[in-house]
Amino acid sequence: MPGIQSISPLAVPCLFTSSRRIVRVAATARNPRLSFESMALKPPLHPTYDLKEIIKLALAEDAGGQGDVTSMATIPVDMEVEANFLAKEDGIIAGIALADLVFHEVDPSLKVEWSQKDGDYIHKGLQFGKVFGRAHNIVVAERVALNFMQRMSGIATLTKKMADAAYPACILETRKTAPGLRLVDKWAVLIGGGRNHRMGLFDMVLIKDNHISIAGGIKNAIKSVDLYLEQKNLQMEVEVETRTLEEVHEVLNYASQTNTSLTRIMLDNMVVPLPNGDVDTSMLKEAVDLINGRFETEASGNVTLETIHKIGQTGVTYISSGALTHSVKALDISLKIDTELALLVGRRTKRA
C-alpha cells in the first residue's frame, strides 16, 4: 500500500490541531487502574466506558465458563513458549496497546515486546512483536487480542488513506460503530490520523433531519437548543444538518439575528454522484462559500476513497464517513509459535 507511513504532526495536521469545541462534557477513564501514559496514542475519553470490562467480556464469551478445552487437553500446564506476531497484509497497525491489556488480563507474567507502535506502517511478512510465557495462557489470549488488533488496524488503515486524500479537510468517523466497541473503533480512527466526531449523544448537540421535522423547522430546532443550553447552563459544540441551500440560508439568517450556540453546519448529500462515476461538488462549494468561515462546515454523504479528494478541495472543514467503522475490512495479522512454518505457508498462499 504505497504512500502509507507512520503518523506525524506534519503529515496529519487534523490530528494535532485543536478543535473549536468550547467545553467538553466531563469525561474520565472509569477504571483508574488502567494507565494510558505509555501509549503512543491514548484512547478518547468517555465518562462511562470501561475498557477493562470490555476485555473481560471478550475473554468470557470465548471461555464460556468452561475455559479452553483444547489447550487443557493438548498443552502441558507448565510449558512456556515464544509466539510472534506476523503481518499478512500491508497496513497501519493499531491495537498494540489494547493487546498488551488483553495479555495482562489473562496472565500478568506474560512478557510482550513490540518492534512497532500503534500508527506505524507494517508490511506483509513483517514480524512486529512477540509474547513469551505459559503456552496455555498465550493461546487463550491470542484470538481476543488479534480480534481487537485486526479490526482496529483495518479501521486505521482506511482512515489513513482517507485522511491523506481529504487534505486539507479533516476526516471524521460517525456513531456507526460496532455495539460495545464505540471507544475502540474511535481510538482506531485517531491512530489512523483521523479526528473523532462526537463520542455519543451526551457530548455534542447534533440537530439532524428528524429533530428538525419534529421541531417544526430548522430555525425552531436551533432556537430550542439555544434555550435549552442557556437554561441548563451548558456549553458545548452545536451542529445542525442542512440538506438544501435554502436551509443553509435559513440557518445563516437566524444566526445573524441572535447570539446562537451554533458552531458547525453539516452539509448533507450536497455531493451529487454522476453517471460516469465522478461527483458534482458545485452545490457543496456554493454552501461553503455562503457560510464563508462563519461556522465550521462538515460534508456528509457520497464519501468514498474515490470522491473524498474532490470533496476536500471545496474548502469544507470536515468530511465525515460512516464507512470508516461500519464497513471495515480487518487487517490480516496472526500470532504464530512456529514462525518458520507460518511464513512458508503464508508464501504459498500469497499472505506473507
Active site residues: 143, 176, 208, 241, 268
Instruction: Determine contact, residues 222/207, Cβ cutoff 8 Å.
Output: yes
Cα 282 from Cα 277, distance rounded (Å) = 16
CB atoms within 10 A of CB 119: 23
Cα 90 from Cα 97, distance rounded (Å) = 19
Cα 107 from Cα 105, distance rounded (Å) = 6
Residues contacting 2, CB < 8 A, separation 6+: none
Beta strands in the chain (DSSP E): 80-87, 91-92, 111-114, 121-122, 127-134, 170-172, 205-207, 238-242, 264-268, 272-273, 279-280, 296-300, 318-320, 333-336
Query: What is the widest separation between alpha-carbon atoms in the chain?
Result: 76
**How far is the first Cα of the chain from the last one, in angstroms, to the nearest whole number?**
14
Cα 148 from Cα 99, distance rounded (Å) = 7
User: What cell numbers appear for 159 in the block?
Assistant: 482512515
Cα 290 from Cα 279, distance rounded (Å) = 20
Given CA atoms 138, 100, 62, 341 in this order, what sign does their dihedral have? negative
Question: What does residue 134 show for φ and ψ, rounded to 5 degrees?
Answer: -60, 125
